[in-house]
């Protein structure tokens, strides 16, 4: 709801989150999903976050997330073929199957995704510009809940999750059985219970 701008830098995302965390009080909890999880973990390097919940940050540990698919996605957005762009992005960037994309297409979520499709271009570009080395996160002092779906794509979701699970010092890993990258929308009660259990420890 903040509007858009041609000028974009992922560092502003980190700074915005850090500002909100600072205003939230003495012991805030921060949760991020997908690109939001990338922004959350980077913000946690810059400000104190006692509890950090990360749901499958697609860090480019195995190479660029978009790669050659980004040009195709950008072209579809530029010609206002947003449904086509989403199909490209969800299959090429997120690793959803054609069946999973079709299931999403039939839900109210799709119209929300469609509205946000143009901004995904810059986010993917920013993600692909990050280092593939996750060892910079080994200095995090936050207690971290790393959430992943059993049905999520190996690349770029499970591989990034696995890489983080090897280096985060205060980690709890939670695998959501039968779920993929969108459990927060398709199984919100399960995700809420998982997060609540972690925060209640």
Q: What is the 3-state secondary structure (H, E, C) of the chain?
A: CCCCCCCCCHHHHHHHHHHHHHHCCCCCEEEEECHHHHHHHHHHCCCCCCEEEEECCCCCCCCCCCCCHHHHHHHHHHCCCHHHHHHHHHHHCCCCCHHHHHHHHCCCHHHHHHHHHHHHHHHHHHHHCCCCCHHHHHHCCCEEEEEEECCCCHHHHHHHHHHHHHHCCCEEEEEECCCCCCHHHHCHHHHHHHHHHHHCC
Whole-number pLDDT of residue 3: 64
pTM for the complete prediction?
Answer: 0.89
Q: What is the pLDDT of residue 96?
A: 85
Domain boundaries, the chain: 10-63+132-199, 69-128
Residues of the chain with pLDDT under 50: none
Class in CATH terms, 10-63+132-199: alpha beta
In this prediction, residue 137 carries a pLDDT of 97
pLDDT for position 1: 60
Q: Can you give the pLDDT at residue 173?
A: 97
């Amino acid at each position: 709801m903040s509007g858009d701008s041609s000028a974009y830098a992922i560092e502003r995302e980190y700074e915005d989150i850090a500002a909100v965390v600072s205003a939230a009080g003495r012991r805030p909890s921060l949760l991020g999903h997908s690109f939001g999880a990338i922004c959350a973990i980077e913000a946690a390097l810059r400000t104190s976050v006692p509890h950090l919940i990360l749901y499958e940050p697609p860090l480019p540990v195995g190479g660029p997330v978009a790669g050659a698919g980004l040009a195709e996605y950008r072209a579809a957005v530029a010609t206002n073929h947003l449904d086509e762009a989403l199909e490209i992005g969800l299959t090429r960037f997120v690793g959803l199957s054609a069946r999973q994309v079709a299931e999403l297409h039939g839900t109210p979520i799709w119209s929300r995704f469609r509205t946000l499709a143009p901004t995904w271009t810059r986010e993917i570009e920013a993600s692909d510009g990050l280092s593939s080395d996750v060892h910079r996160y080994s200095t995090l002092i936050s207690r971290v809940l790393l959430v992943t779906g059993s049905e999520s794509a190996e690349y770029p979701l499970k591989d990034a999750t696995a890489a983080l699970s090897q280096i985060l010092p205060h980690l709890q890993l939670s695998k959501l059985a039968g779920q993929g990258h969108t459990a927060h929308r398709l199984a919100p009660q399960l995700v809420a219970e998982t997060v609540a259990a972690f925060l209640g420890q």
